[in-house]
Structure 1
């Protein structure tokens, strides 16, 4: 089953050195997941300051700077994995470095027929 692991944290909680170490550990984890046939994709996101939110209300487009929610933790990246079950996904999530200062949300992927195939 495919799962997306959404990585949330407070961007201001990390020093530059901690962030770089987190990136290194995350890359190492992706290499291990790839070797196990579980890696489908992963990427950190740029700062929430670069986010744009789009909404359609009454036929009108509303575009605003920043994320939709006002919260201390922001979506900072994701891992897309293939895991046997939720327990295996949890075991992978607890290895993501950001889990020590933030939250990793695990969501099963709803697979739809008719979508373009992966490249």
Structure 2
């Protein structure tokens, strides 16, 4: 089963890192990515751009574009991983590895139900 591991963090804290601190953090995260890739577990992963560069489409009809994500939260979604794991516990173990490297981040683990037009979703 595929799982999304969504990485949340206080964006200001990440932006406050020096270039050297950020590079060191990313190097440690990339070690985990490399291991997961070698194991055949890692799907797409991405570090998202800043929320101030984001926009949100919401509302009826064609909708309206507003600046940034519309959320009253302390933490912002800053990245994501897609992993292919046999069990939820396996996905949680990966999130724990990521958290060991970046202990102030919050990781949400959510199953992904693949959508293919005309194909029913698999039964659990």
Please tell me the TM-score bracket, short chain as reference: 0.7 to 0.9
Instruction: Choose the corresponding residue for 1:30, options 30, 33, 43.
Output: 33
Residue correspondence of structure 1 range 1-119 to structure 2 within 5 A: 1-14=1-14, 15-16=17-18, 17-57=20-60, 59-97=61-99, 99-114=102-117
Give, in whole Å, the separation in 1 of the partners of 2:24 and 2:81.
17
Take 1:99 and 1:21, find their aligned partners in 2: how far apart are those partners?
11
Q: Which has the higher strand share?
A: 1
Aligned length: 114
After superposition, the Cα gap between the structure-2 partners of 1:89 and 1:65, relative to the gap in structure 1 and judged at 3 Å, is same
SS of 2:34 mapped into structure 1 = helix
Q: Distance in 1 between matches of 2:28 and 2:92?
A: 17
Whole-angstrom distance in 2 between the partners of 1:8 and 1:44: 11
Task: State the Cα deviation string for residues 18-58 of structure 1 (Å, max 9, x = none).
Answer: 3222211121111100111101111100111111000132x
Q: Does the residue aligned with 1:40 lie in a helix, a strand or coil?
A: strand
